[in-house]
Amino acid sequence: MTINKLPIPFLKKVMASGDAAGLVKNFISLSVVQGLNYILPLITVPYITRVLGVANFGTVNIAAAIMTYFSIFTDYGFNLSATRDISINREDHEKVSLIFSSVLAIKAVLSLIGFIVLAAVVFSIEVLRVDFSVYLISYGIVFGNVLFPIWYFQGIEKMKYITYLNIICRGIITVLIFILVKNRGHINIYVGLNSISSLAIGLISLGLVLSRFKVRLRKPDMTSIKTQVVEGWYVFVSSLSIVAYTSSTTILLGFIVSKDAAGYYSGADKIRVAVQGLITPLFQTVYPYVNKLAKESAAKVISFIRKELVIFSTIGIFGSLLILLKADFLVNIFAGKDYHKSVDVLKVLAFAPLLVLIGNIVTVQGMLSLGFKKEYSRIYMITSVVGIVTMVLFIYLLGVMGAAYSVLLIEVLVVALTLFYLKKRGVSLLK
DSSP 135-200: HHHHTHHHHHHHH--HHHHHHTT--HHHHHHHHHHHHHHHHHHHHH--SGGGHHHHHHHHHHHHHH
Give, as one character, the DSSP assignment of residue 431.
Answer: -
Q: Which residue has the higher pLDDT, 323 or 431?
A: 323
**Secondary structure in 3-state letters for 192-217:** HHHHHHHHHHHHHHHHHHHHHCCCCC
- Predicted pLDDT at 4: 37
Residue-averaged pLDDT of the chain: 80
What pLDDT score does 195 carry?
A: 93
Residue 344 maps to a domain:
yes
Segment (H or E) for 390: helix 373-398
The region that residue 426 occupies, defined by phi over 0 for left and psi between -120 and 50 for alpha, beta otherwise, is left
- Residue 130 falls within a domain, yes or no? yes
Q: Is residue 2 part of a domain?
A: no
* Apex 200 CA angle, 199 and 206, nearest 5: 90
Q: Classify residue 431: in a domain, yes or no.
A: no
Distance in angstroms (rounded) separating the CA atoms of residues 301 and 291: 8
Give the integer Cα–Cα distance in Å for 407 and 95. 41
What is residue 8's DSSP assignment?
Answer: H
Higher pLDDT, 429 or 420: 420
pLDDT of res. 137: 94
Assigned domain for 429 exists? no
Which tens digit of pLDDT belongs to each residue from 38-57? 566 667 878 888 888 888 88
295-320 residue pLDDT tens: 777 788 788 888 888 887 888 888 88
Task: Give CA–CA dist 210/246, Å, rounded.
Answer: 35
Confirm if 104 and 151 have CB atoms less than 8 A apart.
no
Burial of 339 (0-12, 13-18, 19+ CB in 10 A): buried
In a domain, 131, yes or no: yes
pLDDT the model gives residue 135: 92
Cα–Cα dist 259/54, whole Å: 8
1 falls within a domain: no
Give tens-digit pLDDT for 192-223.
999 999 999 999 988 888 888 878 888 877 87
Number of residues assigned to the chain: 431
Helix axes 400-424, 222-246, angle to 10 degrees: 130
Q: What is the pLDDT of residue 42?
A: 65
Residue 24 resides in a domain: yes
The overall pTM is greater than 0.75 = no
- Rounded to whole angstroms, how far apart are CA atoms 181 and 178? 6
Q: CA-CA-CA-CA torsion for 390, 391, 394, 395, nearest 10 degrees?
A: -160
Q: What pLDDT score does 285 carry?
A: 66
Domain that holds residue 258: 7-424
CA 167 to chain centre: 19
Reply yes or no on whether the pLDDT at 118 is more than 60.
Answer: yes
Confidence band, pLDDT 50/70/90 cuts, at residue 176: very high
Reduced to 3 states (helix: H, G, I; strand: E, B; else coil), residue 426 is coil
DSSP symbols for 81-119: HHHHHHHHTTT-HHHHHHHHHHHHHHHHHHHHHHHHHHH
Percent of residues, the chain, with pLDDT higher than 90: 13
Q: Could you give the number of structural domains in the chain?
A: 1
